[in-house]
Chain A
Amino acid sequence: MLSNLRLEGWHAVLSNGDEFDDNSPILQTDNRSPWRELERIASERNLSIVSVTIFKWTQRITFESNGYKLVTGTATHSRINLSQGKSIVANYRWVRREKENVWEWGICNNINSWIIETPPGVEMCPDPYDYNGVQYAIS
């Protein structure tokens, strides 16, 4: 179950129905992130991650694996105008479904969500405000 009290995070379901989120005690380690620990546990138990929901303030996106690998994380973009001395930082949360021919990204900030497609192998989370490829605003 997703907590209604937390403002940001993720929730994942394994192929045996077990559910985890980024605050699950079993995922807290000193040498890898909760997501990486979940990937390790799933591999160790010969399970797959079948669903991931990300949430950030008012936004929520769920990706089903449909047999493909899912990954989730965060992205930060900063812009420093060299002559105006103005610095802007934007934080996003994302989930990615890695199909053979396309990587599908669900990305959200505090007030908007987007679906963006990139070629496979693009590890950088696209900036929704600066992406000229395939993009769908979903809220």
Chain B
Amino acid sequence: MANTLTLKVNYNGSLQTIGATDKLYWQKAGPFAYGAAGAILVGEYNDGFHIVNSSNEELCTSAHPTNLKYVSSSTVSIDGGAAVDLNTVTTSQCLDLNVTCSPAAEIIESSFFVYGSSEENTPVGIRVKGFKQGDTSWSDVGGSANALSLGISSFNTEHNKYFGLSVMPITNGALSGTLKCSVTCV
């Protein structure tokens, strides 16, 4: 009797679970390149999004997850396309926070953010933008004070919360953070 949170995303042609040792990897435009060869220039947002395993090998070999790139506060580039309104991003283009409740329950609040050395801190060297699917504008989602609400859900055994992320390095180097997702149920 417990709730589970599972992060999923569409790649290789179907909705896939992000495994316990898999990683989300954002890079510059072009084919998959882990590390310096794929580095996003300082001051630019991601032009590529991949799922890699614990050995940094690409898992999305036949079809990558949708790359969502921050363009302006209300627009997004989807897989390199021209800027469009953020609220046109579909659920299938988002990360899917899949919540299972046992027993069934309603979600009275849910949220996510990305943090660095501690949860109140933003990731060092990265600006992280995020949105809940349907939002009209991006939000800063770095640090617990910037947790972005994913809202409520009615009584059920399974819930899906869709959101997107875009990252911009503000310093050089291998940069990272921790994605925290939370749900409260009654």
- Identify the A interface with B (CB < 8 A): 7-8, 22, 31-36, 71-87, 89, 91, 94, 123-125, 127, 130, 132
Contacts and interface: CB of A to CB of B under 8 A. Distances in A.
A80 B105 contact: no
21 contacts: A7-B1, A22-B103, A32-B106, A36-B106, A73-B184, A74-B101, A76-B2, A78-B180, A78-B181, A82-B25, A82-B114, A83-B176, A84-B176, A86-B20, A89-B5, A91-B2, A91-B3, A94-B184, A123-B184, A124-B147, A124-B184
Given A33-B186, A76-B183, 18 more contacts: A8-B1, A33-B103, A33-B105, A73-B108, A73-B185, A74-B184, A75-B183, A76-B182, A79-B178, A79-B179, A82-B23, A82-B176, A85-B23, A85-B53, A87-B18, A89-B5, A123-B184, A127-B119
B8 to A, nearest CB: 12
Nearest to A22: B103
- Contact residues on B (Cβ < 8 Å of other chain), bracket: 35 or more
A80 B21 contact: no
Interface in B47-78: 52-54
Contacts of A86: 20-21
B99 interface: yes
Contact of A76 (B4, B104, B176): B4
B44 interface: no
A8 B2 CA distance: 9
B149 to A, nearest CB: 8
Lowest 3 CB-CB distances: which A-B pairs, in order? A83-B176, A123-B109, A73-B186
